[in-house]
Structure 1
Amino acid sequence: MKNQNSLYLFAISFVSTIGGFLFGYDTAIISGCNSFLETHFSLTPSMLGWVVSSALLGTILGCIISGNVTDKYGRKKALLLAASCLTISAFGSMLAPQFLGNLENSYWITSSLDTSFIALVVVRIIGGIGVGITSVVAPIYISELTLPEKRGKMVSLYQLSITLGILLAFLVDWVVLNQAGENAGIISGSQVGFWDWLFVEELWRGMFGTEIPIALLFLILLLFVPESPRWQLVNGMEEKAFTTMVKIGGTAQAKMQMAEMKVASKEVVQGIKELFKPYLRRPFLIGILLPMFSHLSGIAAIMYFAPNILNESIKSVESSFLGAVLVGLVNSIFTFIAIMNIERYGRRKLLLVGVVGAALSLMGVGVLFAMGSNLVIIPLLIYVACFAFSYGPIVWVIISEIFPTKIRGLAVSIGSLSLMVTGFFITLTNPIFIETIKPAGTFFLYGALTLPAIWFIWKYVPETKGKTLEEIEMSWKKMNDKQQKEVK
């Protein structure tokens, strides 16, 4: 029975994290498209930054609406909305209006370059909305379904799915580039086959199109998962909540957790005003600053522009694509290491070790770029490894744990918004920084921006491993009561 319960939970978590897989896939797949988009659309560095970061603009919008959507309509319906956005984006990115080649015998609707560019940006924003909703709802959904002793590991599956999506996308980019050969991205002007149009002449379309089956799978599988039992209880569906809890942990565990959940759900909550109550000030601060610090280290820019950054050092397109695959592989391996050890060593220790390593390795990247070395990939991989076993999974775990159930959706959406806004500006400015202050200056900047995070984690982020969500909530209240007594 216990094995059946674990398999049931794993299956639910797997479905909900396909959205994270798509997030990672989209992040990395466009890194292979960048140079071809730059040529075909005649993009300046700032415009390249815009088309790449447009998905992150969508994630900001997704984060803004996700809190109300998931708290009002439920975790499952919010994820279905996200899946719909991701499916529309996958089709739309591949099928942006055609503006190059033999337009008299076109395979798709035609338009001007500007119209096609706008259409591409719009559908990427729509996809970003889906990613933004998923980034908020998936960790909440998993944390509300999972038993305390497994929660850190199961929520970390979301970050692992992102890294696996990144790895697969880097591999697909490399495969598409190699099969296109010397004709990759070259517009002949003559009539070509549909396959050659998608995967040779305008191969960025084919790269985007490989997202379609994953997005459709996400949408279909979501129809078969249950709603969050904690959300059901808060919204008066106690019987349904108990049934789901029994399937996850058995009858005895379900009765115990239901009793805790009932106590926590009886308190009156006042929406966003609740976040400013004295006992939630510290978790609110953690929920905003920890995600912000994670992206100030430059991870989004590195993943979106991996081949471009590596090409600045090794001056070889094919080698830079292979280097990007290696980045994705290291990212996945060390995320898996974090998942296997998060309940053993805890959130706080992994965070501190990883962030210190990230700061040092970013400085190392800057030094090697300044020296003109072609060994930049070594400290870059060390940085990716440090990020992957610390910031990567643990930010999602912590912000999904530290808030009360009734406002968890709203609170996590604010934390995700902080992460996405930071990622948007880091990604938007990366091509400009590379051109103006050069790669060395860019990585010195990312390293410097990582240093304050070490102090913040040491001083403010507590250990939460092994505690139920209700115990974590009560710990904030006890800490606040203690501080008030000390003041008196």
Structure 2
Amino acid sequence: MSTRSSTLLLVSLVAGFGGFLFGYDTAVINGANQYLKAYFQLTPFQEGIAGASAILGCIPGAMFAGFLSDRFGRRRVLFLCAILYGVSAVWSAVPGSFIEFLIARFVGGLGIGASSMVCPVYIAELAPAARRGRLGSLFQFGIVLGIFLTLFVNALIQGLGDEAWNTARGWRWMLGAEALPALGLLGLLFAAPESPRWLLAAGREKEARGLLENVGGAAYANEEIAAARAAATGSGEGRFGELFGARFRTPLVIAVVLMAVSQFSGINAIMYYSTKIFTSAGVGVENAFSASVVVGLVNLVFTFVAMALVDRAGRRPLLLAGLALQVVALGAVGAMFFAGVSGLPLLIGVLVFIAAFAMALGPIPWIVCSEIFSTQLRGRAMSVATFVIWVSCYAVAQTFPMLNDNPAIGPGMTFFIYAACSLAGLVFVFVMLPETKGRTLEQLAAQWSVRAGKSSTSARN
């Protein structure tokens, strides 16, 4: 294998492993929950806290990872994430009390939040423009694969013993098994390079040049370094306040809205509560494992579709198509609930939404948000975007049961609300989002200066 291919493969594996751990950690609690409840004799409120403890860790993890990655580098923060995943896996498997378990899961959440911010940035800053979308999709593919395989890991461990064994020990193995991929990520990072654009921003041009030459040759390295120099607004780190200035106001709005819409379209309402929805569909899906496998398989297959199309069709067309299909699917599901339609039509409507999300709104916001900011601010900008997605995720997970079970709203109106959010996202993408495929990160960052200059000129006139 050539040095060029091996460097890209290594970085792709790091991003994929980061996504896999993200997916595993968020999904493993679903299999362990019932046994945790019995072991610790949890109240319904405590059971909810057990499920949400990792998500609560994601929020500060995302907030601080941007500053840390801009200051110390993407690779070093990913080292920290791998350690947090490993510590959380072992500690949550052998907690001395329920409080210790919550702390251990919170520690894992810090790793999820930080890696969900750093991984898309890390791969975007090294991938050639023509392949950046496909390689960037590997993070989302890792998430989906982690969620999907966790279902089978949980089922395999569950089958090793009876109910008593699972209550005493099975859930420990489910949670502790995460230590293996955490060690895998740690091992990869010892061989993985630092982001070349971070090296350039840190004044380490010689190292950056060598890495860029490994990826694309001497001419490619010269072009990338020249573009980075031309786009630089200063040396070292950018200031957090710059994100809210005229230059980056538009990309910040794009990042925040895309991340919020990705959650308020209702994806995690289905991922977390698929059993209730599929039971309403009445298609013979009798347990949570079977329902989750159906959703997970569709999610996995259509993530491949996104990977195949994102650098060919482009981010904007794929988002427009996916969001339009989401509006139709969610509206149809809402209408069927109102009309009392159950069975296969309702199931198909839910799965069409999953497919539309997986091929567009699932991976593309991560890609776009990692592309549209300057190197000096990319970490901080992704922290804001990732903070928004985790807060939105928590809000949806908390509000779905209340909306769904409220007699005045019910599942029909709930899905209409998600359809309306998807429609708002469709309009926003059509009006605000430029195409980013095939352009260097420096070209994408520079366009906001041009727009800000035009806006200032128009305002003066």
Give the TM-score, by structure 2 length. 0.92
1:340-375 deviations in Å (ceiling 9; x for gaps)? 111111101111111122232223333444526243
Give yes or no for the alignment of 1:234 onto 2:206.
Answer: no
State how 1:48-63 maps to structure 2 within 5 Å: 48-63=47-62
- Tell me which of 126, 135, 141 is aligned to 2:116: 135
**Corresponding position of 1:103:** none
Residue 455 of structure 2 aligns with which residue?
A: 483
Which residue of structure 2 lines up, in the alignment, with residue 413 of structure 1? Answer: 383
**CA–CA distance in structure 1, aligned partners of residues 4 and 313 of structure 2:** 25
1:424 deviates by 1.4
Kindly provide the CA deviation profile for residues 153-206 of structure 1, in whole angstroms up to 9, marking residues without a partner as x: 1111111111111111122234444555xx43xx4xxxxxxxxx3x46553333
**Distance across 1 between alignment mates of 2:17 and 2:330:** 30
Query: In 2, distance between residues paired with 1:131 and 1:94?
Result: 18
Where do 1:352-367 residues align within 5 Å? 352-367=320-335
Cα displacement (A) at 1:279 = 2.0
Deviation for aligned residue 1:17: 2.7
* 2:25 partner amino acid: D
How many angstroms does 1:95 deviate by?
A: 1.9
Distance 1:423 1:265, change over 3 A: same
Tell me, yes or no, if the aligned pair for 1:49 and 1:431 is still in contact at 8 Å: no
Q: CA deviation at 1:434?
A: 4.2
Q: Which residue of 1 aligns with 2:141?
A: 160
Query: Paired residue for 2:186?
Result: 219
Shift of 1:34: 3.5
SS of 1:344 mapped into structure 2: coil
Q: Deviations over 1:95-128 (max 9, x none)?
A: 233xxxxxxxxxxxxxxxxx42x22221111111
Give the Å deviation of 1:338. 0.6
Residue of structure 2 in register with 1:105 after alignment: none
Deviation at 1:44, TM superposition (A): 5.4
Q: Secondary structure of 2:299's partner?
A: helix
Report what 1:64 is aligned to. 63
Structure 1 residue 389 and structure 2 residue 354: aligned? no
8 Å Cα contact 1:331-1:385 kept in structure 2: yes
Is the CA contact (8 Å cut-off) linking 1:173 and 1:321 kept in structure 2? no
The counterpart of 2:394, out of the listed 410, 424, 434, is 424
CA distance in 1, matches of 2:108, 2:215: 32
Deviation at 1:312, TM superposition (A): 5.1
1:440 Cα deviation from its structure 2 partner: 4.1
More off after superposition, 274-283 vs 132-141: 274-283
Kept after mapping to 2: 8 A contact 1:232/1:240: yes
Q: Which amino acid aligns with 2:292?
A: A
- Helix, strand or coil for the counterpart of 1:343? coil
Distance 1:141 1:270, change over 3 A: closer
Residue in 2 that maps onto 1:111 = none
Q: Percent identity?
A: 38
For the pair 1:350 / 2:318, whether they are aligned, the reply is: yes
Q: Answer with 303-312 or 234-243: which moved more.
A: 303-312
Displacement of 1:219: 1.7
Matches of 1:412 and 1:317 in 2, distance apart? Answer: 39
- Residue type of the alignment partner of 1:397: I
Q: Which runs of 5+ in 1 are unaligned?
A: 98-114, 188-196
Q: Which of 272, 297, 322 matches 2:290? A: 322
Name the structure 2 match of 1:453. 425
1:257-314 superposed Cα distances (whole Å, 9 cap, x missing partner): 1111122235366501211221211101111111011011122232234345434544
Q: Which residue of 2 aligns with 1:29?
A: 28
Matches within 5 A, 1:54-453: 54-97=53-96, 115-116=97-98, 118-178=99-159, 180=161, 183-184=162-163, 187=164, 197=165, 199=166, 203-267=170-234, 270-311=238-279, 313-314=281-282, 319-370=287-338, 371=340, 373-375=342-344, 376-436=346-406, 438-453=410-425
> Residues of 1 paired with 2:209 and 2:159: CA distance?
53
Q: CA RMSD in A?
A: 2.3
For this pair of structures, how many residues does the alignment match? 455
Comparing 440-449 with 237-246, greater Cα deviation is found at 440-449
Separation in 1, partners of 2:103, 2:269:
20
Change (3 A) 1:474 1:164: same
Structure 1 residue aligned with 2:435: 463
C-alpha change, 1:367 and 1:31, in structure 2 (3 Å) is: farther
Corresponding residue SS for 1:267: coil
Rounded to whole Å, the distance in 2 between the matches of 1:96 and 1:258 is 49
Contact 2:88 2:104 in 1 (8 A): yes
Residues 53 and 428 of structure 1 are in contact (CA less than 8 Å); yes or no, is this contact kept in structure 2?
Answer: no
Contact 1:16 1:79 in 2 (8 A): no
Over 3 Å counting, the alpha-carbon distance change for 1:203 and 1:335 in structure 2 is same
Change (3 A) 1:42 1:440: farther
The superposition leaves residues 54-108 of structure 1 with CA deviations (integer Å, 9 ceiling, x where unpaired) of 21111101011101100011111100111111111111222233xxxxxxxxxxx
> 1: CA distance between counterparts of 2:403 and 2:171?
25
Structure 2 CA distance for aligned equivalents of residues 381 and 431 of structure 1? 20
Q: Residue 28 of structure 1 contacts residue 303 of structure 1 at CA under 8 Å; is this kept in 2?
A: no
Distance 1:55 1:306 in 2: 20
CA contact (8 A) 2:265 2:422 kept: yes
Aligned 8 A contact 2:279 2:286 in 1: no
Distance verdict in 2 for CA 1:378–1:29, change over 3 Å? farther
Partner letter of residue 360 of structure 2? S
Q: Deviations over 1:228-267 (max 9, x none)?
A: 1111111121111111111111111111111111222353
